[in-house]
Structure 1
Amino acid sequence: MYDVRTATPVDLEAVIALVARLQQDPAHRIAFHGETAREVAEELAEIEPRWPDCAVVAVDQGGRLRGTLTVEVDTGQRRAYLYGPYVDVPANHPAAGNLWQATADAMLTHAHRLPALAGVRTLELFGHRENRLLADFAGRHGIAARMTTRCFTLTAAPLRSLLVRHSPDDRVVPLPPEPAVRAAVAQLHDRCFPGAPTTGAQLVAGERHSVVVLVGENGLLGYAGGYTQAEEYYVDVVGVTEDARSCGVGRSLVRRLLGELAARDGVRDRAAALIRAGNDPSERMFTKLGFVLSEELVSYQADLAAAVAHRPAS
């Protein structure tokens, strides 16, 4: 068993290296994190509250880092996201299950004591479908599988072609300052994505997302929001009013959004979007833009009190 403690700034370099290495294996992959050291470093730098105040590590007797768990907290929604647990043991190791789960349990127990989790009501995990260790961990802690999400990506030449060769629809523009348009976007977002991590008010506030809109004669037809990460453009949300669907509005919004991100943040070699399994219209829209399915992810969610109640005794 490893020594589990709150992280310190000295641990950061080793944490980034460990996470980036384990992210290469679907059997360990956590969907909240990127897959390179640069992406992981960028994500940890943006964590709220400040890393390492919201992080836990597991170290062996020699002081070597063997596991980590970071918690991001949305205080407004009283929701916590687990970036992990990560335990440095091969998924096919004979003792992987016992060692991984014992270390993961100890890190979660320690994380529950962090001041950052005070008042949190909802706990969320998000990992690759092949991460069975995470699935077993979630099940033992009463954190139920909520939905399957499919990741679609557009890379290299196809992405450059979309950005360069397709003339943008001049009806699609960056989110204007008019309060009426912003209110309409917020309302449409909350209607299309109830309970999403980003609320409509947060989306139009522009703290993280770039947003583009298409407004017709009778009002808002649709919007798209996303942001640039270390290695990719991320299309986070696309919402289209019911009477404007299946008319190419969504594709126009995504093209313009990617163009805006490229102009503002420079060249990236990949764009990505997550689509809930069963959302066939969205899958068709992204497929027509050239995106291809790259992996399937599973999200898990629980009331924090229920998760604590199911936590194995230490």
Structure 2
Amino acid sequence: MHDIRTANSADLGAVVALVARLQQEPAHQIGFHGETEAEVAEELAELSPDWVGGAVIATDRGGRVRGVLSVEVEGKRAYLYGPFVDVPANHPAAGQVWQTTADAMLTHAMKLPRLAGVEVLELFGHRKNRLLSEFATRHGAAVRMTTRRFMLTAAPLRSLLVRGPAQDDRVALLPQDPHIREAVARLHDRCFPDAATPGRRLVASDRHTVVVLMGERGLLGFAAGYTQADEYYVDVVGVDEDARSCGVGRTLVRRLLAELARDGIRDRAAAMIRDGNDASERMFTKLGFELHAEMVNYQADLTAGYRSAV
């Protein structure tokens, strides 16, 4: 049985190494995390100014880090970056050890001051992460949606960046004009009504780069994303209903990637597409993106009564 405690700053290096190693295996992969030590370190640094205030550690008898669960809280919603539990694949009780340790870390995390008042838990992992699926079921987290991760790498990405964005004067970085910003926020909320980041917060975000395409009657569409340690991430692409199937989305993504590349060259670009969104899949495929992984989002409504498995 592992010892469970709140993290401290001295744990960070061991946590980054553990998470990056487990992220290489679909059976352990968590969707909120990247796949390299640089990406994981960047993500943990962005969770909050005080990562340790929302992280729980599992250690073995020698004090080595064997598990971690980091939590990001936005309003009444908490996102679980994990659980990660390092158990040998040939361990006779690997599944039981993983589940017992994960349950204990979540129980400890739910008592942290940061989680007071949280009403919803979000979990996100690879479809092949059966351990996470069983964990979610035991804690009353139902499947909310499935998504597919598309990636553009190596030569195809370099080729797209070399060609540059389409020469269209209507495409520009999001201006300070409050009317355009309000139009982007409204279109975002119309296209993504259940998004974790609402439109008003998106247009005010310091992290996101946002590009817009304007038409004679106003906003035709927008795209937003950001640069991570090893990739460009296309977060959202919203196109007005009357402007779809006309290449607006592809034009926006190409301009967005060109803007993100100003922060330096990355090896890949990525986008998450909700399963069943065939139009978006076609758009990214035409740009050269290929399917990389299938992910599952689980959600637990704590107002209905938190189902503890321990």
SS in 1 for 2:10: helix
Alignment of 1:202-213 (within 5 A): 202-213=201-212
SS in 2 for 1:130: coil
**Deviation larger for 18-27 or 44-53:** 44-53
The 1-side partners of 2:216 and 2:65 are apart by 59
Alignment of 1:150-161 (within 5 A): 150-161=148-159
Deviations 1:101-160 (A, max 9, x none): 000000000000001101111110000000000000000000011111000000011001
Determine whether 1:232 maps to 2:228: no
Displacement of 1:303 in angstroms is 1.1
**Deviation larger for 42-51 or 59-68:** 42-51
SS in 2 for 1:207: coil
Match of 1:69 in 2: 69
Identity score, percent:
72
Alignment of 1:182-201 (within 5 A): 182-201=181-200
Normalised to the residue count of structure 1, the TM-score between the two structures is 0.96
The 2-side partners of 1:140 and 1:215 are apart by 48
Match of 2:60 in 1: 60
* Counterpart pick for 1:278 among 276, 281, 288: 276
Determine whether 1:172 maps to 2:171: yes
Structure 1 contact 49–72 (Cα < 8 Å) conserved: no
CA RMSD of aligned residues (A): 1.1
Structure 1 contact 142–306 (Cα < 8 Å) conserved: no
The 1-side partners of 2:133 and 2:74 are apart by 23
The 2-side partners of 1:307 and 1:232 are apart by 39
SS in 1 for 2:33: coil
Displacement of 1:48 in angstroms is 2.5
The 2-side partners of 1:123 and 1:299 are apart by 10
Displacement of 1:94 in angstroms is 2.8
Match of 2:115 in 1: 117
The 2-side partners of 1:259 and 1:111 are apart by 40
Displacement of 1:170 in angstroms is 2.7
SS in 1 for 2:95: helix
Deviations 1:242-269 (A, max 9, x none): 0000000000000000000001x11001
* Counterpart pick for 2:299 among 298, 301, 306: 301
Normalised to the residue count of structure 2, the TM-score between the two structures is 0.97
Displacement of 1:49 in angstroms is 5.8
Match of 1:245 in 2: 244
Structure 1 contact 141–307 (Cα < 8 Å) conserved: no
The 1-side partners of 2:140 and 2:64 are apart by 31
Match of 1:25 in 2: 25
Match of 2:86 in 1: 88
Displacement of 1:304 in angstroms is 2.3
Displacement of 1:167 in angstroms is 4.4
The residue type equivalent to 2:299 in the other structure is Q
The 1-side partners of 2:220 and 2:125 are apart by 33
* Stretches (4+) displaced over 2 A: 90-94, 166-170, 304-308
Structure 1 contact 152–295 (Cα < 8 Å) conserved: yes
The 1-side partners of 2:180 and 2:12 are apart by 42
Determine whether 1:129 maps to 2:127: yes
The residue type equivalent to 2:252 in the other structure is L
Displacement of 1:274 in angstroms is 0.3
Gaps of 5+ in 2: none
Structure 2 contact 78–121 (Cα < 8 Å) conserved: yes
Structure 2 contact 250–284 (Cα < 8 Å) conserved: yes
The residue type equivalent to 1:162 in the other structure is L
The residue type equivalent to 2:230 in the other structure is E
The residue type equivalent to 2:147 in the other structure is T
Determine whether 1:14 maps to 2:14: yes
Displacement of 1:305 in angstroms is 3.9
The 2-side partners of 1:167 and 1:137 are apart by 44
Deviations 1:83-103 (A, max 9, x none): 000000145643111100000
SS in 2 for 1:142: coil
Structure 1 contact 28–91 (Cα < 8 Å) conserved: no
How many residue pairs are counted as aligned between the two chains? 309
The 1-side partners of 2:49 and 2:108 are apart by 16
Structure 1 contact 59–67 (Cα < 8 Å) conserved: yes
The residue type equivalent to 2:275 in the other structure is A
Residues 207 and 167 of structure 1: CA distance in aligned 2, closer, same or farther (over 3 Å): closer
Match of 1:51 in 2: 51
The residue type equivalent to 1:151 in the other structure is R
Alignment of 1:263-274 (within 5 A): 263=262, 265-274=263-272
